[in-house]
A and B are shown apart, each in its own frame.
Chain A
Amino acid sequence: MSLVETLPASQRDILLKVDNISLSFGGVKAITNISFDIRVGEIRAIIGPNGAGKTSMLNVINGFYHPQEGTITFEGVPRPRMRPHHAATHGVARTFQNIALFRGMSTLDNIMTGRGTLMKRNLLWQALWTGPAEREEIEHREAVEKIIDFLEIQHIRKTPVGRLPYGLQKRVELGRALAAEPRLLLLDEPMAGMNREEKEDMSRFILDVNSQFGTTIALIEHDMGVVMDLSDRVVVLDYGKKIGDGTPDEVRANQDVIDAYLGVPHE
């Protein structure tokens, strides 16, 4: 166990910091002046009612949306305007709210695509598939097999994902994100639409990813019980504004958060 992991979350190094981010689409303000940070090795939840700006926030971190104001600092370096694939090559991977897998491809191949950014041989080498390209493929296949083993999906290794039940597809998607060996893993509602047992399994996998690989995780989730049990710290958004930030207990006691969830008239 490294020294970092034994520290409480509040004293670890900051992995990602967002400062005064504002994002609007035409006249609609999706995010207004939000700042928070994500520390190395923690599980950070972003919660809030529908339309609070959670997924927008994730898309900003992911480089998919470009905020009109504010700065993002990743691993101590301020990040310029970037494309999503830059984010991927710089150690950020994600899953999607509405599963985005290649439905006709097998579980194995889907997870293999997650290794794409790590493959060094060019198209020609890979087409010839000899020497270094073959060695490289074996290396990546081993990494993928380790993920398959970790997520306990050996039995669907060769099944086209379109045929899999929803809960398993979510797991495959997590596998693909893990395959990129990210330093920051973004999970957009990893447990949406799951039954209780599937949720428990998924929670276990998220905790295991965090403890086994030391991956920092930022997740959006609706199920309050799950969020409070899983996360080290929670940031709460409502109508694009930050209304709370802290440990699950602090957030639970925050009057603004209670109001946002139970509903009070906004003036």
Chain B
Amino acid sequence: MAGDTARLAEDTFPKLLLRNAALFGDRPAMREKDLGIWQTWTWSQMLEEVRAFSLGLRALGLQAGGKVAIVGSNRPRLYWTFAAVQSLGAVPIPVYSDAVAEEMAFVLKHAEATMAVVEDQEQVDKLIGLAKRLPKLKHIIYDDDRGLKNYDHTTLHPFDDVQDSGRSLAKADAGVVAAWEKHIHEGKGSDTSVILYTSGTTGQSKGVMLTAERCVGAARDTVAFDRLTETDETLAYLPLAWVGDHYLNYAQGMVAGFCIACPEGPETVAVDLKEIGPTFYFAPPRVFEGLLTQVMIRMEDAGALKRRIFSYFMDVAKQHGEAILDGKPVPFSARLKYALGNMLVYGPLKNVLGFSRIRVAYTAGEAIGPDLFSFFRSLGINLKQLYGQTEAFLYVTAQPDGAVRADTVGLPMANVDIRIADNGEVLFKSPGMFAGYYKDKAKTKETLTKDGYVMTGDAGFFEADGQLKIIDRAKDVGKLKDGTLFAPKYIENKLKFFPDVKEAVAFGDQRDKVCVFLNIDLTSVGNWAERNNIAYASYQELANHPDVLATMEKHVRQVNADLAREPQMAGAQIARFLVLHKELDADDGELTRTQKVRRGFIAERYQPLIDALYSGKNECDITTEVTYEDGRKGKLSARVKIRDVERFAANGMKEAAE
């Protein structure tokens, strides 16, 4: 128990660093692959590196309350910078390294950063170009010196030089180190630990202020939840400025004392993953999707025997894998087959993917397809989902081991209080909750309810087993004319989980029924056409093929059957659908640059089709202007067929189609 109270005394990251150096001094804290060889720093070596840099920064004039921007990819030195800056009571501000100069200028100016620690020449060039607009920025410190030799070094410093000046200060007077540590112990949990700027997809980016005790507190809860210890290891490859990386790697690493490995470069992540074999892993759904596609393509190139072994054991895994992972009762013969499969298929496959040692893996950010999710889980990878946001310092809900589902995001984390507002919006109060937006009291007020809950902007509800289900952005959730809840994205995602559906756009707000536009996936459907000797000349022709329409109808009916099983959603089944005559394209303004559908714009652009859907017609002529890749414009005319779809009663029984 004494240990517990001592542990709780550490309410800032620098204090945790001192603790880790004392407790796990010889254990690895950081790894980086340099010149093809993994280099390791132990916690005590890392403390020395951080201290040297911190003292060097102070010599450059950094004081408590100062702001230091950090720009670059996952390098040990940049992680050290966080701790070095925090040790002085100053605030680190990570900035997305791929941000264009304009965004970077906004953040640095808004944060009033006086120093910037950056990775390489690319970032130095960006900042030098912005120098006139950033009069407060006094010093730039860089990690990699390539190409920087002939730059003017009056305000530009190599990382090594700053550390050297720190080291010589420490060497000249032993009291310096003691004073530095004393200053850390005097640090308060209520100090701002970090300011994370949101990526600004919804307007101007905002600086989310997080205090040290809340960061540490939240990380303590999740470290306990997943039983992470100093023997765990992660590969840090997510953007440094993203809350996910700062939380999952930096914060949890400091609290649990586990080792963070940095990849050699952004392109080598796959190889590094295999070499490190992390025990804790996070990736957004599209990364898992990419991995699955790669595995399937490679399997298709394999010999016949290998393919048969693979498909046989993947069936075994599909049947029993998840049950075995969750510790549910499974017949002995199935266990035997699974064990054999593990030797022949799952084990080697996990090894190739770098997943051999994974104890806990998470995915989040968007909906994940149930088949995709099951594939990885059935291999014995403990993949789970979480829900969170920057304002919560990541975690709001997470799935505990043994209660994992593809369509929910889990139970509220320890000490998190969740409420659903009348409009369906998810509200929460959590240990890691933000202290406010930096220099923006009005926005902070807008985001908080009167009694201090954070409004997430996401709509959701609790399932019977207490798991939270996120259905859409709150502002996009509407109601049918009869008052039924209508969550377009929820329906669209269900459709998009079919590999041959590329995009779906659902309409229904303030209307009497739900109708959808579909886009077929040309690669997938094209493959199918080739195998079945169906000749086609264009997307338009393939999209209009009767067999394709029949397949799509089957998919939509399947989605309706799924929706019927969910009491909250049963009313919003799809009544009619059509397959669009052209692919939705960002060049035509139909998608955002991040490939999200712009529902309102699409509705306006294809008004005749919407009218036809809701007026009961069976086909409709339409002419659309399209923009080609070289900027030329052209017209595309088509006759689009519309189909009705069978709907089901809420208990799963069939209901007469209209």
Q: Is the CB of B147 within 8 A of A154?
A: no
B37's closest neighbor in chain A, by CB?
A145
Q: What's the Cα separation between A208 and B151 when bound, in Å?
A: 12
Q: List residues 116-160 of chain B with CB under 8 A from any CB of chain A.
A: 121, 146-147, 149-150
Segment at the A interface, from B260-268, B353-361, B393-401, B439-447: B260-268
Q: Interface size (A, Cβ < 8 Å)? A: 17
Interface flag for B340 (CB, 8 Å): no
Q: Contacts A154-B265, A155-B268, A155-B271 known; A204 to B36 CB distance under 8 Å?
A: no
Q: List residues 117-144 of chain A with CB under 8 A from any CB of chain B.
A: 142
Q: What's the Cα separation between A150 and B149 when bound, in Å?
A: 14
Interface flag for B172 (CB, 8 Å): no
Q: What's the Cα separation between A208 and B34 when bound, in Å?
A: 20
Q: Is the CB of A145 within 8 A of B36?
A: yes
Q: What's the Cα separation between A207 and B151 when bound, in Å?
A: 13
With a 10 A CB-CB cut-off, give which of B33, B149, B268 has the most chain A CB atoms.
Answer: B149
Q: What's the Cα separation between A208 and B150 when bound, in Å?
A: 10
Chain A neighbourhood of B146, CB < 8 A: 150, 208, 212
Q: What's the Cα separation between A191 and B121 when bound, in Å?
A: 22
With a 10 A CB-CB cut-off, give which of B121, B147, B264 has the most chain A CB atoms.
Answer: B147
Chain B neighbourhood of A1, CB < 8 A: 149-150
Q: Is the CB of B150 within 8 A of A211?
A: yes
Interface flag for B35 (CB, 8 Å): yes
Q: Contacts A142-B35, A146-B35 known; A155 to B147 CB distance under 8 Å?
A: no
Least distance between B464 CB and chain A CB atoms (Å): 47
Least distance between A125 CB and chain B CB atoms (Å): 24
Q: Is the CB of A155 within 8 A of B267?
A: yes
Q: What's the Cα separation between A212 and B265 when bound, in Å?
A: 21
Q: What's the Cα separation between A152 and B265 when bound, in Å?
A: 8
Chain B neighbourhood of A208, CB < 8 A: 121, 146-147
A5's closest neighbor in chain B, by CB?
B150
Least distance between A162 CB and chain B CB atoms (Å): 18
Q: Is the CB of A154 within 8 A of B36?
A: yes
Instruction: Fill in one digit per residue for B20-37: 1 if any A CB lies within 8 Å of its CB, else 0.
Output: 000000000000011110
Instruction: Fill in one digit per residue for A181-222: 1 if any B CB lies within 8 Å of its CB, else 0.
Output: 000000000000000000000001001100110000000000
Chain A neighbourhood of B34, CB < 8 A: 149
Chain B neighbourhood of A155, CB < 8 A: 264-265, 267-268, 271
Chain A neighbourhood of B36, CB < 8 A: 145, 148, 154, 157
Chain A neighbourhood of B267, CB < 8 A: 154-155
Least distance between B35 CB and chain A CB atoms (Å): 4
Q: Is the CB of A149 within 8 A of B35?
A: yes
A146's closest neighbor in chain B, by CB?
B35
Q: What's the Cα separation between A145 and B34 when bound, in Å?
A: 9
With a 10 A CB-CB cut-off, give which of B36, B150, B264, B268 has the most chain A CB atoms.
Answer: B36
Q: What's the Cα separation between A169 and B329 when bound, in Å?
A: 55
Q: Is the CB of A207 within 8 A of B147?
A: yes
Q: Is the interface of B mostly helix, strand, loop or mixed?
A: loop
Least distance between B592 CB and chain A CB atoms (Å): 23
With a 10 A CB-CB cut-off, give which of B35, B121, B271 has the most chain A CB atoms.
Answer: B35
Q: What's the Cα separation between A212 and B149 when bound, in Å?
A: 7
Least distance between A84 CB and chain B CB atoms (Å): 30
Least distance between A128 CB and chain B CB atoms (Å): 24
Least distance between B23 CB and chain A CB atoms (Å): 34
Chain B neighbourhood of A154, CB < 8 A: 33, 36, 264-265, 267-268
Q: What's the Cα separation between A119 and B36 when bound, in Å?
A: 21
Least distance between A48 CB and chain B CB atoms (Å): 29
Instruction: Fill in one digit per residue for A6-19: 1 if any B CB lies within 8 Å of its CB, else 0.
Output: 00000000000000
Chain A neighbourhood of B147, CB < 8 A: 204, 207-208, 211-212
Q: What's the Cα separation between A221 and B149 when bound, in Å?
A: 26
Chain B neighbourhood of A157, CB < 8 A: 36
Q: What's the Cα separation between A148 and B268 when bound, in Å?
A: 13
Q: What's the Cα separation between A5 and B265 when bound, in Å?
A: 31
Q: What's the Cα separation between A152 and B266 when bound, in Å?
A: 10
Q: List residues 75-101 of chain B with CB under 8 A from any CB of chain A.
A: none
Q: What's the Cα separation between A154 and B73 when bound, in Å?
A: 15
B268's closest neighbor in chain A, by CB?
A155
B269's closest neighbor in chain A, by CB?
A155
Least distance between B269 CB and chain A CB atoms (Å): 9
Chain B neighbourhood of A211, CB < 8 A: 147, 149-150
A205's closest neighbor in chain B, by CB?
B147
Chain A neighbourhood of B271, CB < 8 A: 155
Q: What's the Cα separation between A208 and B149 when bound, in Å?
A: 9
Q: What's the Cα separation between A155 and B33 when bound, in Å?
A: 12
Q: What's the Cα separation between A150 and B265 when bound, in Å?
A: 12
Chain B neighbourhood of A142, CB < 8 A: 35
A156's closest neighbor in chain B, by CB?
B267
Least distance between B156 CB and chain A CB atoms (Å): 13
Given contacts A150-B146, A155-B265, 13 further A-B contacts (CB under 8 A): A1-B150, A145-B35, A145-B36, A148-B35, A154-B33, A155-B268, A155-B271, A157-B36, A208-B121, A208-B146, A211-B150, A212-B146, A212-B149
> Nearest 7 CB-CB pairs, A to B?
A155-B267, A145-B35, A208-B147, A155-B268, A154-B264, A145-B36, A211-B150
21 sampled A-B residue pairs with Cβ under 8 A: A1-B149, A1-B150, A5-B150, A145-B35, A145-B36, A146-B35, A149-B34, A154-B33, A154-B265, A154-B268, A155-B265, A155-B268, A155-B271, A157-B36, A204-B147, A208-B121, A208-B147, A211-B147, A211-B150, A212-B146, A212-B149
